[in-house]
Structure 1
């Protein structure tokens, strides 16, 4: 716990807050409105708040890449002063501490660590852990290599992922197969994680994998690093004092458009698939992240429109806390205890009311921390 003292990039805080607001507040509410509204147009609208089944990309598929991207944007602002220091042991401790905490928090959120049931512990299965991996590698590269080397490494990792997926074959997996049951990343996760993969269970000593779980993590870690690195490159632009503000948002915009076009062109050979974090998906998602960063920077830091945005900073400046509150604690019991009398009057809208109450409680906790300048960091 520490008090905020350094000048911050407000557009980054607001963008991070927007991402967290959608994740911990808005999504559940809009989905619960489906039943009371019961209209075909609303079902189509919900596509914006739903992950695509496999190949393709929806707005909701951007939530996780944006989280990784923004962790990269913050690296130049947080670690620049350590680059010239000969003794980097203190910063190494800081980086490793963050890695370990994010990993444990990820197991708490999605690995069911809090269930205290060994059969439900999953080792690598959460957004926070993908951030941990990407942040660890990107931070070390930032401290020890130049930007040209970092760009080369990012491009190399995208190509390595593609080459492995295209050329390596194990049984019925791999060899350019990008189906849910035949891609190499699926085989690697099954082999390496085994029983500790999310959705897996032991039956007579053998790991049985659930058909509904198709996310991969081991091979995908190569591209988790690239996603964070793309944020790092945006951070370079935003922190550079020699580049004027107008040029900054123009650069972000141009790079974003180029990456989106390149990613969708690559889609014809390597499909854009978020669940296995394909290289084409990295370009598409990071391109959209650049565009969002350009828009938020243009409006907030360049044009100076900062009014009425504090509510998003409340989420953005305690983003890990917001995520942990939403993933680990169910506040619905409070709403149900206080508002149960309304169920008889509003019928199908009652679950929506409870979802709103849950979101409000989380916000009030974050708002109280914000007002007291309490910012929990890892």
Structure 2
């Protein structure tokens, strides 16, 4: 991990490796990160202060189901994993075409994956060492690191046909394991929080403590199907790099594939429920299909139709996406927001203005922070 300062005219895209001439991916990454850095709180504030039906409906979509099911908020995490895959054919593929040594690339892939795991542990537990039993090792960043690492290694060493076999094999293998391998005291095919195979394996193998004591939504075993989200992104990135098709054709085919995956995922839901906590194979297909759909839309609007004026706000976020994710644990953005905007907000007696304005103030401070780093051409690289 390093923080770099670029002196070139155009700053490099920091997360993940730089993408040339694919502004849609950078914009989509920033769009995704916007909700993680607090964008969803606008709807929660509106629902709380107004009671408007549409605000309550949207606020509900920015929560996670207690177990089975799907809401819009469930897409944010797998979309980020997917985008790490999309960038791979542009970054690693470009290096391979120039004759780069595969072993050196593999070492960098593994190093980056392990650094993200370490950053995830720091994000969960802080900078100071805790007792092993008090440490939570599974994390969002850890899953991004491991899923992306294994998907990129598959891309590096496997031919395209074998990559597809890996994709199908992982999804079917995870399904078979979860449904056929018995859990002591529970039996086979039980998918409750207490009795499913993924949680049982995590309880046996993962050191420290799990997020929900008996289960961790970012556990080790349920990271396996997340590899397919990254692989699907790799397939999409490879397709976008191909010649012989127009931009409109690429966007339309990505959209069609996205819809197809969503339908297939919901059909699989009848026998293997869509469940983010377990990252079921059906969940992977639904989120992968929606990720393809969003990429197709962003690609068509930005890279094909050249409608780019609105992208700057999101690309600033996307350029330092992991940094702003980590910064929230170590920087009190709320204090800065109150310092700069608190007096202005207090001029209003409206609860709506105070609540929503407070959320927007924090978002503004975070964005200005990222813009300052952009102006200084300073980006967190992993």
Q: Matched residue of 1:375: which SS?
A: strand
Structure 2 gaps, min length 5: 13-18
Contact 1:55/1:273 (CA < 8 Å) preserved in 2?
yes
Which stretch has the larger CA shift, 26-35 or 99-108? 26-35
Contact 1:2/1:376 (CA < 8 Å) preserved in 2?
no
Who is 1:204 aligned against?
none
CA distances 1:231-282 after superposition (whole Å, capped 9, x unpaired): 1100011111333212211220111111111110000000000111000110
Q: Matched residue of 2:255: which SS?
A: helix
Asked if residue 357 in structure 1 is aligned to residue 370 in structure 2, the reply is no
Who is 1:54 aligned against?
67
Who is 1:171 aligned against?
184
Once the two structures are TM-superposed, the CA of residue 373 in structure 1 deviates from its matched residue by 3.2
Alignment of 1:174-253 (within 5 A): 175-193=188-206, 195-200=208-213, 209=214, 215-253=217-255
Once the two structures are TM-superposed, the CA of residue 94 in structure 1 deviates from its matched residue by 1.9
In the superposition, the TM-score normalised over structure 2's length comes to: 0.89
Contact 2:49/2:355 (CA < 8 Å) preserved in 1?
no
Distance in 2 of aligned mates of 1:358 and 1:116:
30
Which stretch has the larger CA shift, 311-320 or 285-294? 311-320
Once the two structures are TM-superposed, the CA of residue 38 in structure 1 deviates from its matched residue by 3.1
Asked if residue 299 in structure 1 is aligned to residue 301 in structure 2, the reply is yes
CA distances 1:281-338 after superposition (whole Å, capped 9, x unpaired): 1011100101111111111111111112111111112211222223443311222344
Once the two structures are TM-superposed, the CA of residue 216 in structure 1 deviates from its matched residue by 4.8
TM-aligned CA distance change 1:290 to 1:178, over 3 Å:
same
TM-aligned CA distance change 1:162 to 1:190, over 3 Å:
same
Distance in 2 of aligned mates of 1:108 and 1:128:
10
CA distances 1:100-157 after superposition (whole Å, capped 9, x unpaired): 2211221122x21335433542111x22111111111111111111111001101000
TM-aligned CA distance change 1:174 to 1:233, over 3 Å:
farther
Query: What is the root-mean-square deviation of aligned Cα atoms in Å?
Result: 2.2
Contact 1:35/1:348 (CA < 8 Å) preserved in 2?
no
Who is 2:76 aligned against?
63
Once the two structures are TM-superposed, the CA of residue 174 in structure 1 deviates from its matched residue by 5.1
Which stretch has the larger CA shift, 358-367 or 63-72? 358-367
TM-aligned CA distance change 1:372 to 1:241, over 3 Å:
farther
Which contiguous aligned blocks of 4+ residues in structure 1 show a shift greater than 6 angstroms?
A: none
Match of residue 145, structure 2, among 132, 138, 144 = 132
Once the two structures are TM-superposed, the CA of residue 198 in structure 1 deviates from its matched residue by 2.4
Who is 1:346 aligned against?
349
Match of residue 272, structure 2, among 270, 283, 306 = 270
Who is 2:164 aligned against?
151
TM-aligned CA distance change 1:214 to 1:107, over 3 Å:
closer
Distance in 1 of aligned mates of 2:103 and 2:326:
29
Contact 1:113/1:120 (CA < 8 Å) preserved in 2?
no
CA distances 1:146-205 after superposition (whole Å, capped 9, x unpaired): 1110011010000110011111112234511122222111111122125332244xxxxx
Who is 2:96 aligned against?
83
Once the two structures are TM-superposed, the CA of residue 66 in structure 1 deviates from its matched residue by 0.2
Who is 1:30 aligned against?
43
Equivalenced residue count is 365
Who is 1:320 aligned against?
322
Distance in 2 of aligned mates of 1:142 and 1:347:
55
Q: Matched residue of 1:83: which SS?
A: helix
Match of residue 112, structure 2, among 66, 90, 98 = 98
